[in-house]
Amino acid sequence: MNYTELMKEIDNQIQRLNLSSEQVREYLTKHHDTSSLNFLRNEQLQDFLNYLRQQPSQHHITLPSGLFDQMERYLEAQAANADPEASRLLMELEDLEIDRITKQE
């Protein structure tokens, strides 16, 4: 990737993560001894981009699979009883990206 492409993708990732300018500056100061992307070489920009890509989005939720199933069953039962709030929450739940974690023994 060239400099322009790197900067564009970094900007996209910063927006995806909803990071503030201050958060970006803090990271750059801590890891690259600079407070601005403009002072990084392409290799450093690529490293920063890789770091950003590895970060989950703000709306990322991780739930144990049993808890997710219980929550879903509860909302379905409430929605069946004409509870409008449960219906709304069930629709929102379906829209979320949820990672199910199996219980480790």
pLDDT in tens, the chain (105 residues): 899 999 999 999 999 898 999 999 999 999 999 999 999 999 999 999 999 999 887 665 666 767 777 888 888 888 888 888 887 777 776 666 555 544 443
Coil, strand or helix at 44: helix
Which of 46, 12, 39 lies closest to 25, judged by CA?
39
11 and 48 assigned to the same domain = yes
Question: Does the residue 60 lie in any domain?
Answer: no
Residues 7 and 50 in one domain: yes
Question: How many domains does one find in the chain?
Answer: 2
Asked if the structure places residue 91 within a domain, the reply is yes
Same domain for 81 and 50 = no
8 Å CB contact between 47 and 9:
no
Q: Measured between alpha carbons, how far is residue 77 from residues 67, 69, 70, 72 in Å?
A: 15, 12, 11, 9
pLDDT at 21: 93
- Same domain as 48, residue 7: yes
Closest Cα partner for 90 from 99, 98, 81, 78? 78
Q: Are residues 45 and 76 in the same domain?
A: no
Same domain, 16 and 46: yes
Based on the fold, state whether residues 7 and 43 are members of the same structural domain.
yes
**27 is in which domain, residue-wise?**
3-54
Residues 48 and 71 in one domain: no
In this structure, is residue 59 part of a structural domain? Answer: no
Neighbours of 62 (CB within 10 A): 11
**pLDDT reported for residue 57:** 77
Under DSSP, the state recorded for 77 is: H
